[in-house]
Amino acid sequence: MDLLKYLSGDTTKEERLEFLAWLKEDERNEKEFATMRRLYDIVLWQRDNGSSVSRPATTKKVWMIRTIQAAAVAVILISCYIGIDHFHATEEVEEFYMVKAPVGEHHLVELPDQTKVWLNSNTVMWVSNQFSKGKRNVKVNGEAFFEVTKNENAPFTVAFTTTFQRHSGPGSVSNSKVPTQPKSNTNGYLVKVLGTTFNVNTNSSNGCPKVSLLEGSVEVLDDSSLRLVRLKPNEEVLIKDGYLKIKTFDNSDRFQWRQGMIVFNNKSFEEIVRVLERTYGITISVEKAKILQKHCTGKFRIKDGVEHILDVLNINTPFKYEIDELNKTIIIK
């Protein structure tokens, strides 16, 4: 049954009658349609805010199972910001819907099981079309923070790879098919949980994807080597050159992007540049290599903009910079 065709109103009278008959056949059909309806509504209720080099970031909540209030969003259908990509589903094939946080924004997504997922700027998440049937499977490219609802009968899995293309540039559109489950030749990794709080970042500032656990327990599987590691609270696994390295962390400030903050704790200027590029959807070029080796500590509100952050960093690490608004580029000299 092509639910997307029905939701868009592009059906004949015969097809509408066929849909109603299908809906009454099984209670599971009603649940599948309800899930699709909620995801489809997300697209209908998103606003194209545009962006610029120093445009403040904002936070929006995306509710998949609650009624979306008209005062919170505008009635504009867009495909180049928060999107949904639906493929015709069958009982045999698991397929995915796509949800994306625009550049310069972060979004709270609530899944049908009450699991909450915060998507950082320019992050894409794919949700299984059989999620409400017990297959709690998602895939992530970017950074996402999870608070998973416990369900011992339906483990929650997050798949990601080290070879996903980075979705860059404000208003970028992804019309390609959603990737299948990671295969051995794509450096695939799988996080398996029952109910816990953790963060997945495939675009880490140091270039190494990582999974960080705050509460509960998670298992991280390397699909190519079949190596499995189990994390305890305040542990994270870093993925570099195909190896899984576990270390502890005692500072959760870096997860404050959910509250609209950027926190640098003795970070190199090179790492800071990567975070700013991802957060504001810009390109930063540093002409003097020695600047990249400087280390800085600071806490900034994302909405204050990249220029404010650079001005503050400039106090202890003197440099000059130029902004090319048209090409969304900053040159640091």
Instruction: Quote the pLDDT of residue 162.
Output: 67
Q: How many domains does the chain have?
A: 2
Mark whether 146 and 57 lie in a shared domain: yes
* d(C-alpha 189, C-alpha 162), whole Å: 8
Indicate the residue among 220, 236, 253 that finishes a domain.
Answer: 253
Neighbours of 197 (CB within 10 A): 18
Concatenating the DSSP letter of every residue in 169-236 gives: STT----SPPP-S--GGGTEEEEEESS-EEEEESS-TTS--EEEEEES-EEEEETTT--EEEE-TTEE
How many Cα atoms occupy the beta-carbon half-sphere of 264 within 13 Å?
25
Rounded percentage of the chain residues whose pLDDT exceeds 90: 32
Instruction: Quote the pLDDT of residue 22.
Output: 78
Instruction: Give the CATH number of the domain where residue 271 resides.
Output: 3.55.50.30
Instruction: Quote the pLDDT of residue 195.
Output: 80
Q: Beta strands of 67-155 (E only): which ranges?
A: 96-100, 105-110, 116-119, 124-128, 136-141, 143-147
Q: Which of 29-43, 253-267, 295-309 has the lowest mean pLDDT?
A: 29-43
Indicate the residue among 204, 232, 253 that finishes a domain.
Answer: 253
Instruction: Quote the pLDDT of residue 317.
Output: 84
Instruction: Quote the pLDDT of residue 187.
Output: 56
Instruction: Give the CATH number of the domain where residue 84 resides.
Output: 2.60.120.1440
Instruction: Quote the pLDDT of residue 226.
Output: 79
Query: At residue 286, does pLDDT exceed 70?
Result: yes
What is the DSSP-derived secondary structure letter of residue 168? -
* d(C-alpha 88, C-alpha 68), whole Å: 25
How large is the C-alpha radius of gyration of the chain?
21
Query: At residue 160, does pLDDT exceed 70?
Result: yes
184 phi and psi angles, rounded to 5 deg: -65, -30
Indicate the residue among 231, 253, 275 that finishes a domain.
Answer: 253
* d(C-alpha 147, C-alpha 145), whole Å: 7
* d(C-alpha 111, C-alpha 108), whole Å: 10
Mark whether 249 and 265 lie in a shared domain: no
Q: What is the pTM of this model?
A: 0.67
Helices 269-280 and 306-316: angle between axes, nearest 10 degrees: 170
Mark whether 149 and 249 lie in a shared domain: yes
Mark whether 290 and 197 lie in a shared domain: no
Name 71's bridge partners: none
* d(C-alpha 131, C-alpha 156), whole Å: 10
Mark whether 282 and 183 lie in a shared domain: no
Instruction: Quote the pLDDT of residue 1.
Output: 59
Mark whether 187 and 217 lie in a shared domain: yes
Mark whether 246 and 169 lie in a shared domain: yes
* d(C-alpha 198, C-alpha 44), whole Å: 30
Mark whether 199 and 64 lie in a shared domain: yes
Concatenating the DSSP letter of every residue in 217-245 gives: -EEEEETTT--EEEE-TTEEEEEETTEEE
Rounded percentage of the chain residues whose pLDDT exceeds 70: 70
* d(C-alpha 68, C-alpha 62), whole Å: 8
Task: For 93-144, write each residue's pLDDT tens digit.
Answer: 788 888 988 888 888 999 999 999 999 988 999 999 889 888 999 999 999 9
* Boundaries of domain holding 326: 260-332
Residues 73 and 45: beta-carbon distance below 8 Å: yes
Instruction: Quote the pLDDT of residue 243.
Output: 84
Mark whether 52 and 112 lie in a shared domain: yes
Query: At residue 183, does pLDDT exceed 80?
Result: no
Q: How confident is the model at residue 175 (pLDDT cuts 50, 70, 90)?
A: very low
Query: At residue 68, does pLDDT exceed 80?
Result: no
Q: How confident is the model at residue 91 (pLDDT cuts 50, 70, 90)?
A: low
* d(C-alpha 114, C-alpha 195), whole Å: 11
* d(C-alpha 83, C-alpha 259), whole Å: 23
Query: At residue 87, does pLDDT exceed 70?
Result: no
Query: At residue 214, does pLDDT exceed 90?
Result: yes
Mark whether 217 and 317 lie in a shared domain: no
Instruction: Quote the pLDDT of residue 88.
Output: 43
Mark whether 53 and 144 lie in a shared domain: yes
CB burial string 21-35: b at 16+ within 10 A, e below: ebbeeeeeeeebbeb
Task: For 6-54, write each residue's pLDDT tens digit.
Answer: 666 677 877 777 877 777 787 777 767 776 666 655 554 443 443 333 3
Residue that wins the pLDDT comparison between 221 and 41: 221
Q: How confident is the model at residue 61 (pLDDT cuts 50, 70, 90)?
A: very low
Mark whether 296 and 237 lie in a shared domain: no
Instruction: Quote the pLDDT of residue 14.
Output: 79
